[in-house]
Amino acid sequence: MGVAAEQALERAREGAPHGELFSHREGGELELACVLRPQVGMGSLSGVPYVAALGACEGLERLGVAGVGVGWPADVVREDGAGLVARVRTSAGYAEGMFVVCSLSFDVAGGAHADALPVDEQVADAVCGAILARVDAWAAAVGAGRAVAGPLAPVLSDYFDRVALVGKPVELVYPNGRVAMRGTLAGVDVWGRATVRNELGGEVEVSPEQASIRAAQ
């Protein structure tokens, strides 16, 4: 966990409000973190990272950074899936109600699209502002009963359109680094689970805790 995320967690535990923003620059890494307090049930909080990644892509596009997508489950990558733009992480807790700290780490020296990023303050304001807007809209939809099927139901179409490797050859990789299978990324469901289809037509459904997905090598 980076400095900005630690600061945000500490402030969230002290009751920091929804939308409070933190940033830290060290060398070639820019870290952003914001406190989120979506008014949703605990069972829906698993949707926050996915919604945050979607918002981050939209914020970057408003800055003129073209060609970004979501690397399942919630990183920001080049739209072809070949390079990491920002690593997205979330940590949940309880103080003055449930909160989620969302942090993003940008390699502003050599990461994908690094040369297109403006000054740090503009990145922080645009990206975190877009994340807040997306999370607020999603929370309102959840509150209106549109997430009965699963937490991603209100945003699944938009999220799916952003996932970089849909329909492309991928590898499922276990946490120990072993490749579990090769196939095609076929979809993502309302709980954020990815489906990979092998060459025989069989399908495997995985959660982020079970495996990661990368472009086939």
Per domain, the residue ranges of the chain are: 3-159, 165-215
Contact 11, 35 (CB under 8 A): yes
Q: Which residues contact 148 (CB under 8 A, 6 or more apart)?
A: none
Q: What are phi and psi of 174, to 5 degrees?
A: -70, 160
pLDDT tens digits along 131-167: 999 999 999 999 999 999 999 999 999 999 999 999 9
* pLDDT above 80: residue 79: yes
pLDDT tens digits along 80-105: 888 999 999 999 999 988 999 999 99
Which pTM does this prediction carry? 0.94
What's the CA gap between 119 and 117, in Å, rounded?
7
* pLDDT above 80: residue 1: no
In which order are the strands placed within the sheet that holds 179-188?
203-206, 194-197, 179-188, 169-173, 212-215
In the structure, what pLDDT confidence band is assigned to residue 112 with cuts at 50, 70 and 90?
A: confident
How many CB atoms are closer than 10 A to CB 44? 20
Long-range CB pairs of 14-18 (<8 Å, 24+ gap) are 14/95, 15/95, 15/96, 16/99, 18/132
What's the CA gap between 106 and 92, in Å, rounded?
21
* CATH 3.30.565.10, domain 3-159, yes or no: no
What's the CA gap between 99 and 109, in Å, rounded?
31
CATH tag for 165-215 (out of 3.40.50.300, 3.20.20.70, 1.10.10.10, 2.30.30.100): 2.30.30.100
| Confidence (pLDDT) at 200 | 84
